[in-house]
Amino acid sequence: MATILVLHGPNLNLLGTREPGIYGARNLGDVDRKLNELCRQAGHHFLSLQSNAEYELVERVQEASAEGVQFIILNPAAFTHTSIALRDALLAVAIPFIEVHVSNVHAREAFRQNSYFSDIAVGTITGLGTLGYELALTAAFEKLSQSSS
Ligand code: DQA
């Protein structure tokens, strides 16, 4: 059994009502409930945090190391394009993570093309809606089973 932490960055608390044409109709509670259920079925422990504050995400990553979190699923939201602090936190703890974006950031504004996370992530999933979180979790299960065998 592993502990998996899902981190959602700023404005993702508004999923479901925020620009539904881009981000879809599913709210964050529904997304987390589904991820929790998938973790439970796979015998893993699920933790989640959404924050609009960069320092809270940085602190959560630092705590994750002490807690023995083995994998992180991260949607940094707008911090994707700005946060050296969050990148440094992930480098510091060296916990493997998958970067998820609900929308296809490559089909949007030029400033969304740059990510401070993609080059240090295990992988990235973008543009598949909130299903992307579930796909990332499936990949995390696979990676965890490879690393424990
Ligand atoms: C996002 C894409 C980001 O560019 C944006 O700032 C977000 C959400 C996504 O999930 O598609 O807030 O990370």
What is the reported pLDDT for 129? 97
Looking up tokens 């510091």 gives 92
Mutating to test ligand 1, I would choose from 22, 103, 116, 125 the residue with most ligand atoms within 8 A of its C-beta, which is 103
CA dihedral sign, ordered 6, 60, 22, 104: negative
Residues within a 6 A CB radius of ligand 1: 11, 75, 77-78, 80, 101-103, 105, 112
Lowest mean pLDDT among 58-62, 89-93, 131-135, 144-148: 144-148
Q: Which of 23, 44, 116, 133 is catalytic?
A: 23
What is the reported pLDDT for 146? 93
Q: Which of 146, 140, 110 is nearest to 45 (CA)?
A: 140
Atom of ligand 1 nearest to the CA of 103: 11
Residue 141 CB contacts under 8 Å (≥ 6 apart), including other chains? 42, 44
Looking up tokens 């991260």 gives 74
Q: Which of 53, 17, 19, 24 is nearest to 133 (CA)?
A: 24
pLDDT in tens, 89-122: 999 999 999 999 999 999 999 999 999 999 999 9
Average pLDDT, the chain: 97
What is the reported pLDDT for 92? 98
Residues 122-134, mean pLDDT to the nearest whole number? 98
Mutating to test ligand 1, I would choose from 15, 26, 27, 75 the residue with most ligand atoms within 8 A of its C-beta, which is 75
- Rounded to two decimals, the pTM is 0.97
Give CA–CA dist 138/11, Å, rounded: 25
pLDDT in tens, 54-98: 999 999 999 999 999 999 999 999 999 999 999 999 999 999 999
Whether 148 shows a pLDDT value over 90: the answer reads no
